[in-house]
Amino acid sequence: MSLTPISRDELRLLKAQNDEKLRLERINHCISGFYQNIRHRAETTTNTSYLFALPPFPISRVTRLPVPEPEFHRDNMTDILRELQTLFPECIVEHANMVKGHDGKMYNVSKMDDKVLPFINTQQTQEFIVVDWS
């Protein structure tokens, strides 16, 4: 049996390296799911956007879920959006607070006129990851 020597400094880094490896695997798992869903939507409907509702916040942190917990998306939003922007160039890719209008459509609160905001029930807004190819 051939064992590789590990220095004290390398031992100190192993946990952080393993955690980062797991984090990147989870991000890739999320991105893969988004990609498949977005492509399916584009192939089968006339809709030109995909909205992924972030799960309600907060829920306890569990380290090894097959589907990332709500905090995972929020904690890694920058990396998730960057990967989606790479996969879907020229599309709008954003993290947005959305509210359902009386017509049943979802509207980005940050893009609403300031005069409309007092009439919005902020209790009904929800966070989404949005990819729009319109």
Q: Which residues contact 110 (CB under 8 A, 6 or more apart)?
A: 96, 97
Q: Can the peptide bond before residue 55 be classed as cis, meaning omega within 30 degrees of 0?
A: no
pLDDT in the model for residue 26: 93
pLDDT greater than 70 at residue 124 = yes
pTM of the model: 0.78
Helices 77-87, 8-44: crossing angle, 10 deg rounding: 50
Give the span between the Cα atoms of 13 and 71, in whole angstroms.
Answer: 24
pLDDT tens figures, 56-111: 765 455 555 455 466 889 999 999 999 999 999 999 999 998 887 777 777 777 77
Type and span of the H or E element at 27: helix 8-44
pLDDT tens figures, 25-51: 999 999 999 999 999 999 999 999 999
Within 13 Å and on the Cβ side, how many CA atoms surround 13? 7
Determine the Cα angle at 84 with ends 82 and 90, to 5°. 95
Q: What DSSP designation does 123 have?
A: G
